[in-house]
Amino acid sequence: MFKVKIYLNTLLRDTNRWSWGTLFLIGFVTLPLFALFIGTLSGPGESWDHLLDTVLVDYALNSFLLVLGTSFFTLLLGVSSAWVVSRYHFPFKKIVEWLLIVPLTLPSYITAYAYAGLFDYGGPFSTLAKALGFGTPKVDILNLPGLIFILSVSLYPYVYVASRAVFLYQSSRLIEASNILGANRFKTLFYVVLPMARPAIFGGLLLVIMEVLNDYGAAKYYGVNTLTTGVFRAWFALEESDTAIFLSIILLLMVLVFVLLERWQRGNRSFQMATKSAIRLPSIHPSKTTKWMLFIVAFVPVLLGFLLPTFQLLQWLGITWEKTASTSYGSIALQSIGIALLSAILTVLIVLMVIYFPKWNRLKVLKKSTRLATLGYAIPGAVLAIGVMLPTLQIDRWLLQFNQNSGEIGAGTLLLLNGTIIALVYAYIIRFLAVGFKPLQGSQLKLGESLSESSRLLGKNTLKTFFKIDVPLLKTGIFSAILLVFVDIMKELPLTLILKPYNINTLAVKAYEYASDELIMESALPSLTIVATGLLPILFLNKLLLNNS
Amino acid sequence: MKKIARIIAAVAVLLCSCKKKAKDEAKIQEVNVYTHRHYPPDQELFAQFEQHTGIKVNVVNASADELIQKMQLEGPTSPADVLITVDAGRLVRAKEKELLQSIESPFLDSIIAPHLKDEEKQWFALTKRARVIAYAKDRIDPEQLSTYEDLASDTWKAKLLIRSSSNIYNQSLMASLIANLGEEKSKEWAQKIVENMARDPKGNDRDQVKAVVAGEGDLAIVNTYYIGRMINSEDAVEANAGKGVGIYFPNQNDRGTHMNISGAGVAKYAPNRENAIRFIEFLASGEAQLVFAEANYEYPVNQNVDPAPLLQSWGSFKEDQLNLSELGTNNKAAVLLFDDVGWQ
């Protein structure tokens, strides 16, 4: 009893306004999850046993193999190219270095469509094989290994970006030390660099895994049944939202396992290196043949992840552009960019709150709540969309009632949240919080506490310190977070399909509409526009990443 | 800090003005359409309707399942006036969920055949599609073909191409078989079909046709309008693939070829009910039906409009006049049955 009293007293003493702010944020972020959770209370739908007997094992196994295979290949492509780029000189290095990130601009479902076209009957590949005298071999890519290939070449940049940053700056001192102590390059790589870089690489890999578990478009087209496609099937074809929610919970558990794995492998060790000691080591100039071999190592991911699919899209564009290009198309592009930009800025604002509010609050319970921020990324977009609809609609109903009570009838069925851009942006924020969170948290950690502590000792309050010290120092981090989120929102599909308001269309939706009407060639124009809008931010981001640190 | 305050103020002003604008627009005549169809010709039609009537068409595009889910969640506050789907099963589902309402339209009553509309006039077909057998012209003699049931025979072992069971057209075909043959026989049929598949189901209908022409299998089960689009494609490979297959209408000596429809209904809580009816009537009018027929190679439901010349060249055929409601009621059974027999 006494203990409880003490506990309550500390609770009261330590609660400050940031605690309330943190609580509000927790509510903001978990509201859709909570709505979904309530949906599970009634148990799974009647077809659950049927699924268990027939297809569930397949779904889970496919998802698992997909994660495993894609992880392996993204690591292979991402780490090797990052190592080569950060340590060696080779021809066209400058171009290849940033081209390696560019596949991020291509949504994986579009890469999937493009490859289906490349290897189609009468497609570029079979035409080439014929011309070279190989006859007409059929490369069947529409299957699980094919899907692993697609996801690997389109998602490896997450690993590449993460590992390159460590290779370039964090490991340099250690590489020097290792070399001086007589270890050769391979020993240095496998015993010093990779173990040191592991947390960063795994962080990138975690993003890859979440993307794999979110993928719906590519898996559907390639005929691979995964837990994610199962969610759609249960929700829509079987009409059992409760069963779908149960499936998504299995998905969430899978993600959770990987998140815990990452924490476990990181353990209590801190891998931070003082930034001041991080210098960029001079690159090595290898012999001419080695140079070209290194070029190939770095170029293959670019070729597979970007150049080949873009080639196919361009070819399709050549056939269909007259039909698809129009003035209304331009307005779709503008709408798309506007919404993505607005949402990206708001997302990063919330990210900052999620990082700082728990820090400023003094309640221990709330300190760790930042972890919740990354949850949204683990939920398939379509499921999250329903999770957003449930509470926003409820609020709309309350508002309507309130309006009618106060005699203000006449607004008709005009809803404030649902079916408006607010619900859509809200969903984007929750979904992509994790994307903005990672880089910002990284830069914030690097910043350390000493500067803001000094500022506060000098009598500036929390907010003043934040705006005068943290924000200017985090400027680059904030900017890159906005760009990253922007590029992701431009590509987002399932959530947008469900939540987008009237007469608003995005490029991703347009591309999907064409593809789902079996007009895949027509989807080239919106797809390539997505790529084009992504290119500039990515190019810029690359510059920032290189100049910064 | 000041900057942020300014930004917030600006956004607030913007939001308020939006709201005001929205209120003003509420007085403008409009119709809110939830549609699964997003073919380019449809947009032309919507524009024509706007021109004729001055009623603004607001469109939400998504799959029928998602739209139904949305309408259900929105309940009485739903702004939807019209729901358009690309198959009958989903319209039946919407009706069962009480998302549609009955409408009186002498025009629709007279122009659309009884089996192509709901008994309580909650939905109406706008176009028809036949799910047919596309055969390799160079290898297969159409004399060998007869019925859907026959595709399960050993003759077609490793010869059959068909897409995945998550596709609605396959679900409806299965549902029609369940309605016609009963669940047990349908299951046997599906089991045999899986054994006869030339490859695991993948890709869309066009991909099945291309695979037939490339020799991966001899027969594909596909919708007619895809073939029409392929033959008229600007892409030479597509066009050649489309021309490489023949069209066979199965079950001509008994119940007829399985038909599915694209159709529309007025939403139960439609705020613009009258406009919604006018909109559907327009889509069933000769003018609009001609566009459906000519630009998208669908069979018109308006009995006064002829199919596209290409479709006419395939000849007339006997349609399965099964009450389309059955496609809806048997849909779930069909999906579960697919899982049972391992049809991916």
pLDDT in tens, B130-171: 999 999 999 999 999 999 999 999 999 999 999 988 888 999
Q: Could you give the CA distance from residue A307 to residue A284 in angstroms, rounded to a whole number?
A: 28
If you average pLDDT over residues A51-66, what whole number do you get? 89
Query: Could you tell me which residue, A138 or A97, shows the higher pLDDT?
Result: A97
Q: How confident is the model at residue B257 (pLDDT cuts 50, 70, 90)?
A: very high
Percent of chain B with pLDDT over 90: 61
What the block records as the tokens of B98 is 């009480």
Measure in Å the smallest separation between the Cα of B51 and chain A Cα atoms.
Answer: 17
Backbone angles phi, psi at B342, to 5 degrees: 75, 30
Amino acid (1-letter code) at residue A166: V
Instruction: Inform me whether the pLDDT recorded for B6 exceeds 50.
Output: yes
Q: Which B residues, 274 through 293, put their C-beta within 8 Å of a C-beta on chain A?
A: none
Amino acid (1-letter code) at residue B154: D
Instruction: Inform me whether the pLDDT recorded for A224 exceeds 80.
Output: yes
Q: How confident is the model at residue B236 (pLDDT cuts 50, 70, 90)?
A: confident
If you average pLDDT over residues A326-337, what whole number do you get? 85
CB contact under 8 A, B69 and A143: no
Q: What pLDDT does residue A127 have?
A: 83
Closest CA to A91 of A244, A295, A336: A295
B28 touches chain A (CB under 8 A): no
**Distance from chain centroid for Cα A535:** 17
Pairing assessment for the beta strands B160-161 and B30-35 based on DSSP bridges? unpaired
Pairing assessment for the beta strands B219-223 and B160-161 based on DSSP bridges? parallel
Q: How confident is the model at residue A280 (pLDDT cuts 50, 70, 90)?
A: low
Q: What pLDDT does residue A223 have?
A: 86
Chain A residue with CA closest to B171: the answer is A237
Least trusted range by pLDDT, from A295-304, A317-326, A411-420: A411-420
Measure in Å the smallest separation between the Cα of B84 and chain A Cα atoms.
Answer: 15
Pairing assessment for the beta strands B82-85 and B259-267 based on DSSP bridges? antiparallel
Q: What pLDDT does residue A547 have?
A: 65
If you average pLDDT over residues B265-281, what whole number do you get? 94
Query: Could you tell me which residue, A310 or A53, shows the higher pLDDT?
Result: A310
CB contact under 8 A, B26 and A412: yes
Q: Could you give the CA distance from residue B204 to residue B210 in angstroms, rounded to a whole number?
A: 10
* Contact present, B102 and B268 (Cβ < 8 Å): no
If you average pLDDT over residues A494-518, what whole number do you get? 82
Q: What pLDDT does residue B28 have?
A: 76
3-state helix, strand, coil in chain A (%, to 5): 80, 0, 20
DSSP state of B199: S
**Which of A56, A120, A126 to mutate to probe the B interface, most B CBs <10 Å?**
A120
* Contact present, A255 and A57 (Cβ < 8 Å): no
Chain A residue with CA closest to B61: the answer is A497
Taking phi over 0 as left and psi of -120 to 50 as alpha, with beta for the rest, A139 belongs to beta
B171 touches chain A (CB under 8 A): yes
CB contact under 8 A, A517 and B39: yes
Q: What pLDDT does residue A170 have?
A: 67
Q: Could you give the CA distance from residue A106 to residue A185 in angstroms, rounded to a whole number?
A: 35
* Contact present, A255 and A91 (Cβ < 8 Å): no
Q: How confident is the model at residue B7 (pLDDT cuts 50, 70, 90)?
A: low
Q: How confident is the model at residue B184 (pLDDT cuts 50, 70, 90)?
A: very high
Query: Could you tell me which residue, A218 or A168, shows the higher pLDDT?
Result: A218
Q: What pLDDT does residue B17 have?
A: 44
B306 touches chain A (CB under 8 A): no
Q: Could you give the CA distance from residue B48 to residue B194 in angstroms, rounded to a whole number?
A: 45
A346 touches chain B (CB under 8 A): no
Q: What pLDDT does residue B21 have?
A: 45
Closest CA to A482 of A385, A339, A348: A348
Query: Could you tell me which residue, A396 or B108, shows the higher pLDDT?
Result: B108
What the block records as the tokens of B88 is 């009958």
* Nearest-by-Cβ selection for A121 from B26, B78, B210: B210
DSSP bridge partners of B136? B245
Arithmetic mean of pLDDT over chain A: 83
Query: CA angle, B93 as apex, B77 and B271 as ends, to 5°?
Result: 25
Q: In chain A, count of helices (H) and strands (E)?
A: 26, 0
- ipTM at complex level: 0.76
DSSP state of A188: I
* Contact present, A549 and A275 (Cβ < 8 Å): yes
Identify the burial level of B307 via C-beta atoms within 10 angstroms of its C-beta, where 0-12 means exposed, 13-18 middle and 19 or more buried.
buried
* Contact present, A380 and A231 (Cβ < 8 Å): yes
Number of cross-chain residue pairs from A and B with Cβ atoms under 8 Å apart: 138
CB contact under 8 A, A502 and B32: yes
Least trusted range by pLDDT, from A94-103, A314-323, A378-387, B316-325: A378-387
DSSP secondary structure letters along B213-228 = HTTS-SEEEEEHHHHH
Instruction: Inform me whether the pLDDT recorded for A54 exceeds 50.
Output: yes
Query: Could you tell me which residue, B246 or A239, shows the higher pLDDT?
Result: B246
A323 touches chain B (CB under 8 A): yes
Q: Could you give the CA distance from residue B325 to residue B117 in angstroms, rounded to a whole number?
A: 9
Which residue shows structure tokens 């309402």? B101
**Which of B14, B27, B73 to mutate to probe the A interface, most A CBs <10 Å?**
B73
Query: Could you tell me which residue, A197 or B91, shows the higher pLDDT?
Result: B91
If you average pLDDT over residues B46-60, what whole number do you get? 91
Closest CA to B22 of A436, A421, A245: A421
CB contact under 8 A, A50 and B339: yes
What the block records as the tokens of A101 is 């990130």
Q: How confident is the model at residue A404 (pLDDT cuts 50, 70, 90)?
A: low
Contact residues for A118 (Cβ-Cβ < 8 A; gap 6+): A124, A125, A308, A309, A311, A312
Q: Could you give the CA distance from residue B220 to residue B238 in angstroms, rounded to a whole number?
A: 15
Which residues in chain B have Cβ-Cβ distances shorter than 8 Å to A505?
Answer: 61
* Contact present, B293 and B224 (Cβ < 8 Å): no
Which residues in chain B have Cβ-Cβ distances shorter than 8 Å to A463?
Answer: 1
Q: What pLDDT does residue A308 have?
A: 96
Percent of chain B with pLDDT over 70: 92
* Nearest-by-Cβ selection for B332 from A238, A413, A463: A238
Which residues in chain B have Cβ-Cβ distances shorter than 8 Å to A239?
Answer: 93, 332
Which residues in chain A have Cβ-Cβ distances shorter than 8 Å to B75?
Answer: 393
Helix axes B40-53, B286-296, angle to 10 degrees: 160
Pairing assessment for the beta strands B259-267 and B123-136 based on DSSP bridges? antiparallel
Q: How confident is the model at residue B198 (pLDDT cuts 50, 70, 90)?
A: very high
Chain A residue with CA closest to B20: the answer is A411
Q: What pLDDT does residue B172 have?
A: 92
A327 touches chain B (CB under 8 A): no
What the block records as the tokens of B201 is 């189901």
Q: What pLDDT does residue A194 have?
A: 82
Pairing assessment for the beta strands B245-248 and B123-136 based on DSSP bridges? antiparallel
CB contact under 8 A, B171 and A237: yes
The SS3 call for residue A507 is helix
- pTM of the full structure: 0.83
Length of chain B: 344
Q: Which B residues, 39 through 58, put their C-beta within 8 Å of a C-beta on chain A?
A: 39-40, 58
B235 touches chain A (CB under 8 A): yes
DSSP secondary structure letters along A1-18 = -HHHHHHHHHHHHH--HH
If you average pLDDT over residues A516-523, what whole number do you get? 84
B232 touches chain A (CB under 8 A): no
DSSP state of A521: G
* Contact present, B22 and B28 (Cβ < 8 Å): no
**Would the CA dihedral through A234, A240, A241, A243 be positive or negative?**
negative
Instruction: Inform me whether the pLDDT recorded for B126 exceeds 50.
Output: yes
What is the rounded radius of gyration, in angstroms, for the C-alpha atoms of chain B?
A: 22
Instruction: Inform me whether the pLDDT recorded for B24 exceeds 50.
Output: no
Q: Could you give the CA distance from residue A232 to residue A176 in angstroms, rounded to a whole number?
A: 52
Which residues in chain B have Cβ-Cβ distances shorter than 8 Å to A411?
Answer: 23
Instruction: Inform me whether the pLDDT recorded for B310 exceeds 60.
Output: yes
Instruction: Inform me whether the pLDDT recorded for A527 exceeds 80.
Output: yes
Closest CA to B41 of B305, B308, B340, B290: B290
Q: What pLDDT does residue B38 have?
A: 77
CB contact under 8 A, A142 and B202: yes
Length of chain A: 549
Amino acid (1-letter code) at residue B257: T
The 10 Å Cβ neighbour count of residue B330 is 24
Which residue shows structure tokens 């601009």? A105
Distances from the Cα of A187 to the Cα of A10, A198, A287, A290, B327, angstroms? 52, 16, 20, 19, 66
Measure in Å the smallest separation between the Cα of A449 and chain B Cα atoms.
Answer: 22
Instruction: Inform me whether the pLDDT recorded for A52 exceeds 70.
Output: yes
CB contact under 8 A, B74 and A418: yes
Instruction: Inform me whether the pLDDT recorded for B18 exceeds 60.
Output: no
What is the rounded radius of gyration, in angstroms, for the C-alpha atoms of chain A?
A: 25
Q: Which A residues, 181 through 240, put their C-beta within 8 Å of a C-beta on chain B?
A: 220-223, 225, 229, 232-233, 235-239
* Nearest-by-Cβ selection for A236 from B65, B73, B271: B65
CB contact under 8 A, A222 and B93: no
**Distance from chain centroid for Cα B41:** 15
Amino acid (1-letter code) at residue B132: V
Q: Could you give the CA distance from residue A109 to residue A512 in angstroms, rounded to a whole number?
A: 9
* Contact present, B246 and B212 (Cβ < 8 Å): no
Q: Could you give the CA distance from residue B211 to residue B219 in angstroms, rounded to a whole number?
A: 9
**pLDDT tens, residue by residue, A78-109:** 999 999 998 888 999 888 988 999 998 999 99
DSSP secondary structure letters along A239-250 = --HHHHHHHHHH
Arithmetic mean of pLDDT over chain B: 88
Instruction: Inform me whether the pLDDT recorded for B12 exceeds 60.
Output: no
